[in-house]
Amino acid sequence: MKILIAADGRSPITRRWVRGLLAMQNEVILVSTFPCQPLEGVAEMIVLPVAFASLSGSQAGRGGKPAETDTHQPAQPPRSRRLVARFRNLFQRVRYSLGPLTLRYYGPQFRRVAQRVQPDVIHALRIPFEGMLASYAPPEMPLAVSIWGNDLTLHGKGSAAMRRFTTRTLQRADGLAADAQRDIRLARAWGFDADKPVMTVPGSGGIDLVEISTARPMPVLPDLPQFPEDTPLVINPRGFRPGSVRNDIFFQAVPMVLERVPDAHFLCAAMQGQEEAQSWLERLEIGRRVHLLPYLAQEQLWAIFQRAAVSVSISAHDGTPNSLLEAMAIGCFPIAGDIESLREWIVPGVNGLLVEADKAQALAAALVLALTIPSLRGQAAEVNRAIIQERAELNLVRSQIAVFYERLLQG
């Protein structure tokens, strides 16, 4: 099958999805909305930087370099990207207002690419702005769209233009993939036809339990101390995500945790060099216990999950983060935001804890509970490995993806 993917080519999620399609003997053409390094095995790659993507910062790695090989501190980015990082919330609002206008230029370009390539299926791996771009595809070509956790609860409501293009995308889509049942339900309320094919699978295309189990020991990183084996470690794995992950609440909880667990250390991925993170450390005087890490290769993050007691990411808007599933697969105790999509995976007190996203004291209490009760962590690890095996294992997910694409082809 020839599949045209519209996605952020820098993203580890995109790269894992593409690798999965290639492993299933598909031909893949990638339209990346961000400049990036070529993906091995892809037949062709085209860059269409819709919505000012060339200026954007990255949760996926530095500049155009693949995150999965980016193991060191990011090189100093251009001044434009430093400004975007400093004013990320403002930049997001600008993208909501002006980003959809760029579709009038890039949408016809995407249509011409699709007409030239003649794929069997087009698949956009999220709605803004890749699904919006792919909505310009010729109507006779089957279009699948994936929903990320923020697409409908946050981004789709960002402006009148975002709402209009989100609705257009869902009405044009011939099939829908999501990592939470909640998003399938919401999509129908936005205009997606309930009779069309749907699929609920992890956004990365599945969890490779064999690969994860062979993760190396915790990496040695510059300025990171060598912790004794009994040091309680907490990993915050996701960096800054405006409007979604409440890192302000995370940082406010740290001093309260240290009052009860004074030997705890907190590792924060993708926050090294971030002014916002550094200001929290200075304001709260927690720099000796909180370590800002660079962007990590996926294998490095897995190794930290193996060593850490707790993984924490408190979201106000989210789907099913792949970092959550990876932590669950490895046995790292998850603490997450108390929202509908995460309640599909976590039963509080059984296999993790859920916390209201704006309650720093509640987060601190959850962290203390998880760090001080080893039996709670042990019970959760056993339950979570079974959940991942039953619902997110790589080969199981790939078989679901193959059936989904076949249903699209059958109309």
pLDDT digits (tens, 9 = 90+) for 117-176: 999 999 999 999 999 999 999 999 999 999 988 899 999 999 999 999 999 999 999 999
Rounded to whole angstroms, how far apart are CA atoms 217 and 195?
Answer: 48
Domain count, the chain: 2
pLDDT grade, residue 294 (50/70/90)? very high
Strands in 121-124's sheet, in edge-to-edge order, are: 44-47, 27-32, 2-7, 121-124, 143-147, 175-178, 198-200
Is the predicted pLDDT of residue 188 greater than 90, yes or no?
yes
Higher per-residue confidence, 84 vs 185: 185
CATH code: domain of residue 298: 3.40.50.2000
pLDDT digits (tens, 9 = 90+) for 358-391: 999 999 999 999 999 999 999 999 999 999 999 9
pLDDT at 86: 59
pLDDT at 84: 53
pLDDT grade, residue 214 (50/70/90)? confident
9: helix, strand or coil: coil
pLDDT at 270: 94
pLDDT at 58: 47
Which contiguous run of DSSP H or E holds residue 310?
Answer: strand 310-313
356 and 244 belong to one structural domain: yes
* Interior/surface letters 393-404, b for 16+ CB within 10 angstroms, e for the rest: bbeebbebbeeb
pLDDT at 81: 53
pLDDT, mean of residues 295-306: 92
275: helix, strand or coil: helix
398 and 386 belong to one structural domain: no
279 and 363 belong to one structural domain: yes
Share of residues in the chain with pLDDT > 90 (%): 83
Neighbours of 119 (CB within 10 A): 20
47 and 95 belong to one structural domain: yes
24 and 170 belong to one structural domain: yes
Share of residues in the chain with pLDDT > 70 (%): 91
pLDDT at 79: 53
Q: Which two tokens stand for residue 26?
A: 């598909």
368 and 260 belong to one structural domain: yes
Rounded to whole angstroms, how far apart are CA atoms 330 and 172?
Answer: 38
**Is there a cis peptide before residue 129, judged by omega within 30 degrees of 0?**
yes
Supply the mean pLDDT for the chain. Answer: 91
Q: Which two tokens stand for residue 36?
A: 């990036």
pLDDT at 149: 84
pLDDT digits (tens, 9 = 90+) for 22-42: 999 999 999 999 999 999 999
In sequence order, the 6+-apart residues with CB closer than 8 A to the CB of 212 are 302, 326, 329, 330
Which structural domain, as residue segments, surrounds residue 356? 209-391
pLDDT at 125: 98
Q: What is the residue type of 338?
A: D
Start-end of H helices in 87-138: 88-98, 103-117, 132-134
Is the predicted pLDDT of residue 254 greater than 50, yes or no?
yes
pLDDT grade, residue 53 (50/70/90)? confident
188 and 234 belong to one structural domain: no
Neighbours of 304 (CB within 10 A): 24
pLDDT at 91: 72
Count CA within 13 A, CB hemisphere, residue 256. 16
53 and 202 belong to one structural domain: yes
11 and 113 belong to one structural domain: yes
pLDDT at 67: 38
118 and 214 belong to one structural domain: no
Q: Which one, of 192, 260, 206, lies nearest residue 232 by Cα?
A: 260
pLDDT grade, residue 78 (50/70/90)? low
Which contiguous run of DSSP H or E holds residue 2?
Answer: strand 2-7
pLDDT, mean of residues 229-238: 96
162 and 242 belong to one structural domain: no
pLDDT at 411: 79
Rounded to whole angstroms, how far apart are CA atoms 134 and 335?
Answer: 35
In the chain the first and final C-alpha atoms are separated, in Å, by: 15
pLDDT, mean of residues 247-260: 98
Start-end of H helices in 266-321: 275-284, 298-307
| Tokens 């579709």 sit on residue | 103
45: helix, strand or coil: strand
pLDDT at 243: 83
270 and 381 belong to one structural domain: yes
